[in-house]
Amino acid sequence: MAMKIGILGYGNLGRGVEKAVAANSDQELVAVYTRRDPAGVQIKTPGVKVLSADALEGGKEDLDVLILCGGSATDLPEMTPKYAALYNVVDSFDTHARIPEHFAAVDAAAKKSGHIGLISCGWDPGMFSVNRLYAASILPEGEAYTFWGRGVSQGHSDAIRRIEGVQDARQYTVPVPEALERVRSGERPELTTREKHTRECYVVAKEGADLKKIEEEIKTMPNYFADYDTTVTFITQEELDRDHKGLPHGGSVIYTGSTGENRHVVEYRLTLDSNPEFTGSVLAAAARAVSRLNKEGVNGAKTMFDIAPAYLSPMSGEEIRAHML
């Protein structure tokens, strides 16, 4: 019998999860839950309901796993503990500094209710984290480098859009090729923020806006751009819609370690046409593991570190040993 999946939130990530669940023959989408008016939300899966998030109250929905597709800033810190008290849940919480408190809150709620709350799932945090851990566990003497891109950073694009005179914007995070090559060579360089990534901004200005001022404001914005070599290119809305519509992303975790005089380089690299669709696919696979583990009696907060890879696969132990080992 198919695993019953619910999705809370229908933005880019929610749509990515929907597509992933449709591709998983062992999973069935029960409903998409939304805090908006359900009548205004059109989903892609035929015959599946859109319901108000209120329907989730009291744990009355028949779900094996509820996948939470809210934002890390304000949604998930509240949502994940709340729903872990009622359902098995998976989220993609990515505010690094707040992971310990988020984990603790979800753990308390999930242990009390006997559910699993898998947090910080996706590719970073998520698959990148797992690869950092594998490499560091195998080669204790070594160092991990993470590069992101070339890809669209939605947070940085949003930051530009908030500047006065900006109509629309797309920001690409780009790893510096020389830095990548130095790290891949195994030399373990010390790299500053500026030496690792550059930022490319494509900006649509409002009519009559001061372009010089916009460019200056972007390039000097603390945290987001000031520490990077940033280029700003003004384009028309038509150009942005035509050439920058997608949400590609990716990057590399490169771990360079040694055993005495011998060097070893381990690289995990993603090149993704669609960041939310890949992330959604990781969440859907994680939901499979969560449902199984909970049926075995496991509960509490978990991360991808706690999931044996076999639990993510729809195949049996015999099948994966025969085909994947």
Contacts of 238 by beta carbon, 8 Å cutoff, 6+ apart: none
Asked if 130 touches its own copies (CB under 8 A), the answer is yes
In whole angstroms, give the CA distance from residue 21 to residue 285. Answer: 9
Asked if 267 touches its own copies (CB under 8 A), the answer is yes
Instruction: Lay out the site mask for its own copies across 160-189 (x = CB under 8 A, - = otherwise).
Output: ------------------------x-x---
Instruction: Lay out the site mask for its own copies across 222-261 (x = CB under 8 A, - = otherwise).
Output: -------------------------------------xx-
Asked if 307 touches its own copies (CB under 8 A), the answer is yes
270 HSE (CA, 13 A, CB side): 25
Contacts of 48 by beta carbon, 8 Å cutoff, 6+ apart: 29, 30, 31, 32
Toward its own copies, which CB reaches closer, 124 or 215?
124
Strands 151-152 and 166-175, sheet pairing? antiparallel
Instruction: Lay out the site mask for its own copies across 79-108 (x = CB under 8 A, - = otherwise).
Output: -----------------x--xx--x-----
CB of 290 to its own copies, least distance (A): 13
Asked if 285 touches its own copies (CB under 8 A), the answer is yes
Segment contacting its own copies by CB under 8 A, of 32-40, 48-56, 135-143, 189-197: 135-143
Q: Is 305 helix (H, G, I), strand (E, B) or coil?
A: helix
Quickly list H helices, 228-274.
Answer: 237-243
* Residue 282 near residue 99 (C-beta atoms within 8 A): no
Cβ atoms within 10 Å, residue 43 = 18
Please select the residue that binds its own copies; options are 139, 152, 235, 287, rule is CB under 8 A.
Answer: 139
CB of 13 to its own copies, least distance (A): 13
